[in-house]
Amino acid sequence: MKQEAIVESFVIERKGEMRQFQILLPRDTNRIVGFEYGVSEKYEEPEVPVDPNDNALLFLPNKVIGSIILRTNGCEGIFYQSDLIEDRNVHFGETIAPVAAMPWSHGRKKHEVELSIRENRIVYGFFKNYLGSGGFNSSIYYRLNLYLWIEKCEQ
């Protein structure tokens, strides 16, 4: 069986922003085998000034980016629901990102999912953003990349 990643990407610009999306699976999809995510192009107003001479030893708590729900129609229903976490301590070497598709291929561990696809070829998703300091008008901008790993039927 051959595995592929389907990428869904969208820009988040407000605290509390909610997104509904759909991912159309190819016709030869046999099952969904995993889920990953990543954040890029991030800009957020700084919360605390950081001394540039002391940032090598600065440990920051990880932040919750937002919550996500993935589901299909039919008896499967919701197959993934979780909070997405931002690793704010990559300078400590906690994130491993090899070039080849491995369990850590996009900077976050792939969440294993076992879901056979029968007639339902559409995955429905809902994302709610939690990032942003202050009120709903605070400056924030980032691109959320979602990677849905599928297993295709052999032809």
Instruction: Please state the φ and ψ torsions of residue 72, each to the nearest 5 degrees.
Output: -125, 165
Query: pLDDT class for 126, splitting at 50, 70, 90?
Result: very high
Domains and CATH numbers, the chain: 2-152 (2.60.120)
Instruction: Please state the φ and ψ torsions of residue 91, each to the nearest 5 degrees.
Output: -70, -10
Strand partners, 142: 12
The single residue listed with the structure tokens 């007639």 is 119
List b or e across 71-82, with b for residues whose CB sees 16 or more CB atoms inside 10 angstroms: bbeeeeeeebee
> Per-residue pLDDT averaged across 44-61, rounded?
62
In the prediction, which pLDDT does 103 show? 42
Between residues 83 and 101, which one has the greater pLDDT?
83
Dihedral angle sign, alpha carbons of residues 42, 47, 49, 52: negative
In the prediction, which pLDDT does 102 show? 40
Query: pLDDT class for 96, splitting at 50, 70, 90?
Result: very low
The answer, yes or no, to whether residue 77 has pLDDT greater than 90, is no
DSSP 96-113: ---SS--TTTTSSPPEEE
Dihedral angle sign, alpha carbons of residues 126, 138, 147, 92: negative
> Per-residue pLDDT averaged across 18-41, rounded?
87
Between residues 56 and 124, which one has the greater pLDDT?
124
Least confident of 34-38, 65-69, 100-104, 111-115: 100-104
Q: First and final CA of the chain: distance in angstroms? A: 9
| Cα–Cα distance for residue pair 116/114, rounded to 1 Å | 7
Here the tokens at position 21 are: 């999306």
In the prediction, which pLDDT does 64 show? 84
Between residues 66 and 51, which one has the greater pLDDT?
66
Pairing outcome for strands 18-24 and 29-44: unpaired
